[in-house]
Amino acid sequence: MNRRKAPLLAALALLLAGSALLISKHHPAPEAAPTSSAPKADARTAAAPQAGPGAPAADPDSPMAELGRGPLRQPKDLASYLRERYGARIRDPHTQMRMLEDLMRYFQKLNPTGWEADLLALLKQAFPELYDELVQRLHQRLDYEKWVKEHQAELTQKPAAERRAALWDERNRLFGKDVAEKIWAGELRNQAVADSLASIDALPNATVGDRMAKYKESLAKTYGADTPAYLQAHQQDLMNRFLDLGSVQKELGAMAPRQRSESLRSIREEMGLDDAALQRWDELDKVRDTRWEVGSQYMSEREALAQQYSGPELEARLTELRARYFADEAQTIAEEEQSGFFRFTRPRQWGRN
């Protein structure tokens, strides 16, 4: 490949590897709406994608920092790159939207006022047979963002369920129900899991094992044949969502230490962690348990000192106490307490802190 072409393609490859900005994929806040950051111009061409939940932060030292410093070059190579990256699934609305949003960000860096014409020209080169459909999809996307911006204040005031319903009503109107559900399929699955967790949390007289069994059933129902791969890719998040249930924390807190350790290990096994990971978690649990025991002892002694002393003498004794309990971390603890934060008065979240 020509040496001049390689940096530009590498930069575009990194940018296109980013997450879709309009399509919510991460828990929480599946109803989060995009906002616009483009220069004010026509209502349609001004709408610019902005980083949403889970979007990668810009790195000024990465090759992406070169974007926007010069005119677009080698459009034929870019068209080939798009066909190679997206061609196999380009008829899928979700894939179309991911590509369009990544390209919007790319072209707006290069040409903030004329980005849409540049983007459309590239689409015509890359996918001439789908050009009209992709143009329609882009305009639907821009119209949706315009609507969200115009109704942002109203949406913010609505309860979460009503806000989701309003967003889905507009998505269905603009995109059509079938297309909208494909574009926001990840959000629908996230919401299905969240609804299932709420039901699992409310189960009366269920054990942690019972709730985990129901959880895995709900994941299998939601993700179907993709369940094993999804579990593998999202083990930590899925495990945390289960451990965050009040009913699970309540039962874990009522267990004897050995039983609780066994229960936590079982939860992690059910989430597909291998033996090495299970061993690391066991060791981390022991470190956390020791730290909370030390913290409890420290807080008891701290309270006793606060009842006996005040002013500079209390501060001197607390400094000595923190140094005895926390050594190198003593100054951090002191600064936290000066700001009003006492880490060992937080609720213990078993398996989480």
Please tell me whether residues 135 and 171 are part of one structural domain: yes
Mean pLDDT of 319-329: 95
The pLDDT tens digits of the residues spanning 61-94 come to 322 233 334 444 455 688 999 999 999 999 999 9
Please tell me whether the overall predicted TM-score, pTM, comes out greater than 0.75 for this model: no
| One domain, residues 79 and 17 | yes
Higher pLDDT, 120 or 52: 120
Would you say residue 320 lies in a domain? Answer: yes
Residue 350 sits in the same domain as residue 228 = no
Provide the pLDDT for residue 33.
Answer: 33
Which of 150, 183, 216 delimits the end of a domain? 183
Same domain, 38 and 136: yes
Q: Answer whether residue 53 is part of any domain.
A: yes
Indicate whether 284 belongs to any domain: no
**Residue-level pLDDT at 77:** 84
Task: Verify that 131 and 88 share a domain, yes or no.
Answer: yes
The answer as to whether 348 is a domain residue is: yes
Enumerate residues 6+ apart whose C-beta is below 8 A from 277: 268
220-230 pLDDT per residue, tens: 999 999 999 99
220 & 88 share domain: no
Same domain, 174 and 215: no
Pick from 133, 161, 183: which residue ends a domain? 183
In the listed set 153, 183, 213, which residue is the last one of a domain according to the structure? 183
Whether residues 132 and 171 fall in one domain: yes
Residue 278 counted as domain residue: no
Flag whether 97 is in a domain: yes
Domain count, the chain: 3
Question: Which range marks the domain in which residue 25 is found?
Answer: 5-183
The answer to the question of residue 188 being in a domain is: no
**Do 26 and 166 fall into the same domain?**
yes
